[in-house]
Amino acid sequence: MDAIAYKIVFVGDTNMGKTTYSNAICDTSVERTYPTLGVDVHMCVIEGVSFAIWDCAGDERFGGLREGYWNQAHGAIVFATSASRADEWIVHLQSVCPGIPVVVINPHADVRDGEIYSPYTRDAFETLVRMIVSNDVVQH
């Protein structure tokens, strides 16, 4: 039997570090100097739990596709530099995925050589995973 993959979406404005954070979480080392075009999906297993991390583009020209990418997500991490901007993303997410667990982080985490040095951002993903697993929000 295949393990259930929890779908996590990373959302926020462009150039906020979503891809860097996703690469650090999944232990991948993709060097890229251009913004995500649409969405990149990263599969990873952490402590025996499978995750499909949907790294969604923040550029407005992909705005019409976002709802499709977010559909049936189990959780979200919002990358925002202000409370008002985070609220905008959360309201939009909640309109597509009512009740989705959301964690907001500062996108300017210190990531070097694929290692996340800020304890706050390291805890963000772990916090979201605990919220998802403890509430058994997997959609069957």
Q: What is the pLDDT of residue 28?
A: 65
The reported pTM is 0.74
What is d(CA 86, CA 77) in angstroms, rounded to the nearest whole number? 10
Split the chain (140 residues) into runs of 10 and give each run's mean pLDDT. 75 81 72 63 82 78 70 89 85 91 74 51 70 56
Q: What is the pLDDT of residue 50?
A: 86
CB neighbours (10 Å) of residue 58? 21
The domain made up of 5-135 is a member of CATH 3.40.50.300: yes
- Evaluate whether 6 touches 132 at the Cβ level (below 8 Å): yes
- Exposure pattern of 108-133 as b/e (b: 16+ CB <10 Å)? ebebeeeebeeeebbebbebbbebbe
What is d(CA 77, CA 80) in angstroms, rounded to the nearest whole number? 10
Residue ranges of the domains in the chain? 5-135
